Amino acid sequence: MSVHPTQTLSLSQYLIEEQLKLPQATGDFTALMSHLVYAAKIVPERFEKRDF
């Protein structure tokens, strides 16, 4: 196992790849995390613009 990854994955890419490894996965956790990632990007932008 390499200490330095050769490929960089986004959190979304990682979650999707891991979900595909689990046949029992429903996608609910991946969807929740995707929404949280989106919110984490949008909220700071809105505060900068004072558009809330």
Residue 33 CB-density burial (10 A; 0-12 exposed, 13-18 middle, 19+ buried):
middle
The model's pLDDT over 9-42, given as tens digits with 9 standing for 90+, comes to 898 899 999 999 999 999 999 999 999 999 999 9
pLDDT of residue 19: 94
Residue 20 CB-density burial (10 A; 0-12 exposed, 13-18 middle, 19+ buried):
exposed
Domain ranges of the chain: 12-17+26-49
Residue 51 has pLDDT above 60, yes or no: no
